[in-house]
Amino acid sequence: MRTTFDALGTNWQGLAPGAEDEVDHAHGTHRYRAVFISDIHLGTAGCQAQALLEFLKHHPSDYLYLVGDIVDGWQLRRRWFWPQAHNDVVQKLLRSARKGSRVVFIPGNHDEFARGFVGHHFGGVEVCEDTVHTTADGRTLWITHGDYFDGVIQCAKWLAYLGDNAYEFTLKLNRYLNSLRARMGLPYWSLSAYLKHKVKKALNYVTDFEVAVAAEARSRGHDGVVCGHIHRAEMRTINGTLYCNDGDWVESRSALVEHMDGRLELVYWDDVLSSQFREPSAPQPMGVVA
């Protein structure tokens, strides 16, 4: 068992296919009440399927939410890319459902083909447009991929366009204003710099997205929201509503988890790996995985 653990800890990317089942029972398995993952983008080269597979093996759960962009239908239509590890992820998800985990799939924009199957089951995987999860401590979380909010954010693009054209104008206005200010004995003040700063702040896409999603969850009467889509893991309270973004499995390799007592936590695979390195039973020194 120890050799399996070493293989996982120091060189998990190079795991032989045969080692799979041993690792299943290996050191470091921790059961959660719920696991939320999204933006896996199976079918693309950027997908961190092997890491996700290891994460899922070590973190079984009562509820497993697939919060969209699980399979990248857009990319697959352009170019077929489906290595064994991507197949293994799908099989692992189906196996979780078979083993009694409640698996819910909420399609995203990259796997919107699945939106045609809302209300159906695939091998125990339920497909929902969106859903609500109640935590062990009684909080309700609205679960949605998040791409519907792109429309809201689109308005910001018009603002940006306006901003660019308005900049030339404000430069002129700036000259005029400052000649006035000079005549009144006031110091120089840059209107255009001020506006540029304001517009930039207003155009913070991520913040806009987060605020919009949290506001929608609040208006639906929920305590919080779980989404993905923008590939930016986050957990914070926005105007009294808990905003959780489970991140992605392309770059951040993160998941949102609910502990048995209802506590929510963002888990990063890199942290899981490095905490395994710190295990006293691990005889290998660090430094193999950068």
| Residues found near Mn ion in the complex (CB under 5 A) | 69, 108-109, 147, 229
What's the CA gap between 86 and 46, in Å, rounded?
A: 11
Cβ proximity to Mn ion, 88 vs 147, nearer residue: 147
Q: How far is the CB of 231 from Mn ion (least distance, A)?
A: 8
Q: How far is the CB of 109 from Mn ion (least distance, A)?
A: 5
* 3-class DSSP state of 283: coil
Q: How far is the CB of 47 from Mn ion (least distance, A)?
A: 13
What's the CA gap between 177 and 108, in Å, rounded?
A: 49
What's the CA gap between 69 and 25, in Å, rounded?
A: 29
Q: How far is the CB of 118 from Mn ion (least distance, A)?
A: 17
Cβ proximity to Mn ion, 147 vs 216, nearer residue: 147
DSSP 130: S
Please, are residues 80 and 45 in contact by the beta-carbon 8 Å criterion? Answer: no
In the chain the first and final C-alpha atoms are separated, in Å, by: 24
Cβ proximity to Mn ion, 17 vs 151, nearer residue: 151
Q: How far is the CB of 213 from Mn ion (least distance, A)?
A: 13
Residue nearest to Mn ion (CB): 229
What's the CA gap between 242 and 15, in Å, rounded?
A: 38
Pairing of strands 61-66, 102-105: parallel
Residues 6+ apart with CB under 8 A from 172: none
What's the CA gap between 30 and 55, in Å, rounded?
A: 10
Cβ proximity to Mn ion, 38 vs 174, nearer residue: 38
Pairing of strands 32-37, 241-245: unpaired
* 3-class DSSP state of 110: coil
Distance of CA 4 to the CA centre of its chain: 29
Q: How far is the CB of 110 from Mn ion (least distance, A)?
A: 5
Cβ proximity to Mn ion, 222 vs 229, nearer residue: 229
Distance of CA 204 to the CA centre of its chain: 18
Cβ proximity to Mn ion, 109 vs 134, nearer residue: 109
Cβ proximity to Mn ion, 218 vs 229, nearer residue: 229
What's the CA gap between 290 and 288, in Å, rounded?
A: 6
Q: How far is the CB of 68 from Mn ion (least distance, A)?
A: 6
